[in-house]
Amino acid sequence: NAGVMQNPRHLVRRRGQEARLRCSPMKGHSHVYWYRQLPEEGLKFMVYLQKENIIDESGMPKERFSAEFPKEGPSILRIQQVVRGDSAAYFCASSPVNLVSTSGVNTGELFFGEGSRLTVL
């Protein structure tokens, strides 16, 4: 069972260009979360999506950032007109609708991908 797949793993962009990061959740998972990790900072929540719906985008910058999770295909985090401050690792995580562990407890566990590292020159 493949895990959460993110691509590209590394992306270099010049200021003003666009960055597109893709995330394919684990099989059977319909919830996707995007987090950003800046150097020396923790993981910061950006957006939570289900298929064709943005559920919570309270962590998304108001401008230049957008996310989607279409009915078919991966979730995409799009950053327009990138600036140097956008350089970070962007992690995608997924969870199923109802996750019950072997102990019968819903753990609400998030399964993370290996991240996409964006460098803005």
Partner 1 sequence: QKEVEQDPGPLSVPEGAIVSLNCTYSNSAFQYFMWYRQYSRKGPELLMYTYSSGNKEDGRFTAQVDKSSKYISLFIRDSQPSDSATYLCAMSARQAGTALIFGKGTTLSVSS
Give me the residues that bind partner 1 (CB under 8 A), please. 4, 31, 33, 35, 40-45, 48, 55-56, 58-59, 91, 93, 95, 98-99, 105-115
Residue 1 DSSP one-character state: -
Query: Are the beta carbons of 29 and 96 closer than 8 angstroms?
Result: yes
Q: Which is nearer to partner 1, 85 or 108 (CB)?
A: 108
Give least dist CB 112 to partner 1, A. Answer: 4
**N-terminal to C-terminal alpha carbon distance within the chain:** 37
User: Which structure tokens are listed for 107?
Assistant: 């753990």
Q: Which is nearer to partner 1, 1 or 98 (CB)?
A: 98
Q: Which is nearer to partner 1, 57 or 68 (CB)?
A: 57
Give least dist CB 93 to partner 1, A. Answer: 8
